[in-house]
Structure 1
Amino acid sequence: MTQPATRRARHLMVPGQPAPRPSGGMTITTVQRWVLASLALITIEHLAGAIVLAAVFTDESRPGTRIGLLAVATGFALVGIVAARLIFQRSPFSPWLACALLPAAVGTWLCFLR
């Protein structure tokens, strides 16, 4: 007589039969792109913010220097957004580029309107 096969509960591991992988998750390449784009954008935007702070602490008698630093900060913010878009292999031209004006707007308020 053969004994009936014992049925194992689904939550237990069966030796020799690996658990099926759940479908619908992100691939490793997608996760790497998200991490790289996040790091690039955050790092470059922090650089733009530091340049805005440099403009705030520049001598008030030289407004041209402040304006130049704010323009450089805007350029770096633009580069950061374009870099993040290119990492995802998207067109660099998008409405998100308008966010590059944010450091200039904040810097203008801090330097001249406050």
Structure 2
Amino acid sequence: MSSASGGTPPAVRVRKHLMVPGQPRPQNREPMSIGGVQRWVLSTLAATTILHLAVGLIFAAAYSERLDAKIGLLVISAAFGVLAMVAALVIHRRQPLSPWLLIGLVPTAAGAWIVL
């Protein structure tokens, strides 16, 4: 029997995000070196540890009653956030002055919106 339109059925599109049993996905030919993995682990630990300190300063600012203390703690929090990004960049042997430093200001910006 033919289809209602009289033509051949449309071709099925292969979805690229699905696994095809006979066609494995191409893999990286060169795995990451142990030094590269260590750099990623160290930079992640350093950045998250320093950012936790920055967030702690934001909480301290939230519980402070004086406006000048709140502003001072938020400024120190911003400095620690930028320092966290500098540490990660230096560990990866990149230039410390980079647009990535703006990521360090995100927790302080969110905290300032909540605190002030």
Matched, 1:76 2:80: yes
The answer as to whether partners of 2:55 and 2:108 remain within 8 angstroms in 1 is no
The alpha-carbon deviation at position 23 of structure 1 amounts to: 4.9
Moved over 4 A (4+): none
Query: 2:115 is paired with a residue of what secondary structure?
Result: helix
Residues of 1 paired with 2:29 and 2:104: CA distance? Answer: 37
- Please state whether the residue corresponding to 1:92 is helix, strand or coil: coil
Unpaired segments of 5 or more residues in structure 1?
Answer: 1-21
Aligned-residue CA RMSD (Å) = 1.3
Q: Identity over aligned residues, as a percent?
A: 43
Q: Mark the runs of 5 or more structure 2 residues left unpaired by the alignment.
A: 1-27
* Pairing 1:62-101 to 2, within 5 Å after superposition: 62-101=66-105
Which residue identity is paired with 1:74?
A
Task: Name the CA distance, whole Å, in 2 between partners of 1:89 and 1:25.
Answer: 20
Query: TM-score by structure 2 length?
Result: 0.73
Residue 36 of structure 1 corresponds to: 42
